[in-house]
Amino acid sequence: MQDYYKKFRLTNKVAVITGASEGIGRDIAIGLAEAGAEIIICGRRQKKLLEVKEIAEKNGCKVEMCVIDIQKVSDIQKLKEFIEAKTGKVDILINNAGYAVTKPAWDVSENDWDTMVDTGFKGLFFCCQAVGSIMRRRGYGKIINLSSTFSKSIVPGRSVYGGIKAGINHLTEALAMEWAPHGIRVNALAPTAVNTPSRQATLQGPMLEKILSRIPMGRLATPEDLIGAVIYLSSEASDFVTGQTLFVDGGWVAAS
C-alpha cells in the first residue's frame, strides 16, 4: 500500500516566509514548522520575529530569522545570501508580506501607491527571482504567493490593492510557465478577509456586515483555515500543480 499521507510531510524541507512577524504569515510559519519544515522567517520587526522563533522552537522546530525590508531589492539580495550561508538550499517560499490601504480611489496618494506596490508586488517579484534562483540550482521548489478574493471581486476602497492581487494571479501563471522546466512550482493562495491585527480597524460595523453577506459560509477566514492549503501547496502532494490560484474564501468567488 502507498503511504500517500507521507507526501504531505515537510521533514527536511527549508521554508522561507516573508511577513512572518505578525498575522497570517506568523501562523503559516508556525504551521509549516509543525509540519516538519525548517523555517526562515522574515520581516522588519526583529522583536516580533523573535516571539515567533521562540514559539516554533518550543515545539522543537529549527528556526532562522532574517530582518529585511522587502521594499528594497538590496535587502532581498541579503536574504538570498543569508539562505545560502545558513541552509544552502530552499524548498518553499511563502510570499506573504503585503500592505493594504483602504481608501476611495480619488484619495489614494503617491505614498499609498508606492508602499502597496513596492511591498506587495515589486517585493514579491524580486523574492521570487532571488529565492527561485537558489531553487533552480537543485531543480526543485515551491513558491506560494498570497493573493486575495479581492483579486477577482470588487470592494470599494480596495482598487489598488485588488489590482496588485489580480497582478499576482497573473504573475503566478507567468512564472509557473517560465519556471516549470526548472522544477519550480508557482501557485497563489487567495483568502477572503481574515481578522489579523492590521485589519481590525476596517473589519467592523457596516464594512464587516457587507463582507460577511458575500461569504456563503457566513464567517471570515481564520489563519488556521489557510494552513492546510499552504501545507498542501508546499508539499510533494501537489507536485503536479502549478500556475493555480487556490481560493480559501468560504465560497465568495464562486458566489460572485
Ligand X SMILES: NC(=O)c1ccc[n+]([C@@H]2O[C@H](COP(=O)([O-])OP(=O)(O)OC[C@H]3O[C@@H](n4cnc5c(N)ncnc54)[C@H](OP(=O)(O)O)[C@@H]3O)[C@@H](O)[C@H]2O)c1
Residues in contact with ligand X, counted by CB under 6 A, come to a total of 32
The three-class DSSP label of residue 213 is helix
161 catalytic per annotation: yes
At its nearest, how many Å lie between ligand X and the CB of residue 71? Answer: 5
- How far is residue 148's CA from residue 191's CA, in Å, rounded to a whole number? 5
* Terminal C-alpha separation, the chain: 42
Q: Which stretch binds ligand X (CB under 6 A): 43-51, 86-94, 172-180, 211-219?
A: 43-51
Residue from the set 14, 16, 17, 24 that interacts with ligand X by CB under 6 A? 24
Taking CB under 6 A as the rule, does residue 71 contact ligand X? Answer: yes
**Given candidates 97, 135, 171, 230, which one binds ligand X under the rule CB under 6 A?**
97
CB of 167 to ligand X, least distance (A): 12
User: By CB under 6 A, is residue 191 in contact with ligand X?
Assistant: yes
CA–CA separation, 80 vs 221, rounded Å?
32
User: Site for ligand X (CB under 6 A): which residue of 45, 170, 210, 219?
Assistant: 45
Q: How far is the CB of 57 from ligand X (least distance, A)?
A: 18
Binding flag, residue 247, ligand X (CB under 6 A): no
Which H or E run includes 53? helix 46-58
Neighbours of 52 (CB within 10 A): 24
Cα–Cα distance, 152 to 164 (Å, whole number): 11
**Piece of the chain touching ligand X by CB under 6 A; list 152-160, 169-177, 186-194, 236-244:** 186-194
- For ligand X, which residue of 10, 13, 14, 23 counts as binding (CB under 6 A)? 23
Which helix (DSSP H) or strand (DSSP E) does residue 52 occupy?
helix 46-58
- What is the residue whose three cell numbers read 529585511? 68
Closest CB to ligand X: residue number: 23
Q: Which of 157, 58, 55, 59 is nearest to 101 (CA)?
A: 157
Continuous segment of H or E residues that includes residue 163: helix 159-179
Tell me the three cell numbers of residue 29. Answer: 510559519
Residues that bind ligand X (CB under 6 A): 18-25, 43-45, 48, 68-71, 96-100, 119-120, 146, 148, 191, 193-194, 196-199
Residues carrying an active site annotation: 161
